[in-house]
Amino acid sequence: MKIKNISLAHGNGGSESKELVEGLFYSVFGNKILNKSEDAALIENGKLAFTTDSFTVNPLSFAGGDIGKLAICGTCNDLAVMGAKPKYLSIAFMIEEGFSFDELKSIIKSMHDELEKNDAIIVCGDTKVVPKGNVDKLFINTTGIGEIYYSGISASNLKEGMSILISRDIGAHGAVVFAAREGMELSTELKSDCASLYPQVKSIVDGGVNIVAMRDATRGGIAAVLNEWANASGITIEIDESKISISQEVQGICELLGFEATALANEGTFVLAVPSEDAQKALAILRQTHESSAIIGSVNSTYKGKVVLKSSWGTQRFLDLPTGELLPRIC
């Protein structure tokens, strides 16, 4: 490792995060469960899924959600995309002295509402209050345990000929949080995609779709997910850029600020890999929730561990892991 000091880029979910996690954490803590790098660890002989996450989003509230909703969605979604029913969560609050009690109460209400959508409960927790200036208002950590009801989902399972789908339009969360942070007045009703994915995932399972891999595209966006899959399975993922739905508002923010929508964070959008014969069935189910769902690409073996993006102009380029830090404290 060549890292001398930790930078904001090490939290971006892209290449710097990969360098830190694999170069330091895996070298010390590595084991056969951790090294699989899935959204949730499979434990107890594959009967349970186990995950943890921390939330530091700024601002605490944004169009479509707040840090409380985000915390529950983030942890439950990591369980859901591993084929697990979210059941039990722990929660830890790090609260700055002087934080508004009414605002905290509102955040707790958001968490309660989202827990009900997942039919999950908080079973333990912790609260720390620190002197003013030692934490920025409120940080939350959540850990979740889910019961596996669909097994075999893994980033290492992709094979040539499989289809890649996305559950909805991309980049809404990153765009909304950035606009709120910078005080940009949006003349539209664009909201974060922050949402619980378990109901939608269950509908895919109940529909008889053969799920190969599934992951929610949070930090690093779909670019990070696709690169992780290509690397884990040693294959090429070829994506048709014209099939990826991006709202006009998100596209406008990207063009204005030089962002790439494929690298923007999402909090209620997932990528799905299925055998080609199941692709249309999966798409029909996804579109019951979002019309913007699409089959965006396929798997081949042209370049090992690479993602190829085909433009509407007929050109091709590699879609690499995001680098640098677009938006710190996005989740």
Could you tell me the two tokens for 288? 């019951």
Q: Residue 169: helix, strand or coil by DSSP?
A: coil
pLDDT of residue 290: 97
Rounded CA-CA distance 88/277 in Å is 35
- The enclosing H or E element of 226 equals helix 221-233
The tens-digit pLDDT sequence of the chain (331 residues) is 678 899 988 987 888 988 999 899 999 999 999 999 999 999 999 999 999 999 999 999 999 999 999 999 999 999 999 999 999 999 999 999 999 999 999 999 999 999 999 999 999 999 999 999 999 999 999 999 999 999 999 999 999 999 999 999 999 999 999 988 877 766 678 999 999 999 999 999 999 999 999 999 999 999 999 999 999 999 999 999 999 999 999 999 899 888 999 999 999 999 999 999 999 999 999 999 999 999 999 999 999 999 999 998 889 999 999 888 778 899 9
Rounded CA-CA distance 16/3 in Å is 10
Give the ranges where 100-214 is alpha helix by DSSP (H). 101-118, 172-182, 198-206
Query: Closest Cα partner for 330 from 183, 175, 157?
Result: 175
DSSP class per residue in 26-48: HHHH--TTGGG--SSEEETTTTE
- The enclosing H or E element of 17 equals helix 15-20
Rounded CA-CA distance 138/93 in Å is 7
Rounded CA-CA distance 330/172 in Å is 12
Spell out the residues 6+ positions from residue 148 whose beta carbon is closer than 8 angstroms to its own: 42, 46, 47, 48, 49, 82, 83, 84
Could you tell me the two tokens for 242? 């014209």
pTM here is 0.96
Q: Residue 194: helix, strand or coil by DSSP?
A: coil
- The enclosing H or E element of 148 equals strand 138-148
Domains and CATH numbers, the chain: 8-148 (3.30.1330.10), 163-318 (3.90.650.10)
Q: Which amino acid, 105? A: K
Helix axes 198-206, 101-118, angle to 10 degrees: 0
Q: Which amino acid, 292? A: S
Rounded CA-CA distance 57/265 in Å is 12
CB contact at 8 A, 121 and 153:
no
Q: How far apart are the first and last CA of the chain?
A: 27
- The enclosing H or E element of 160 equals none
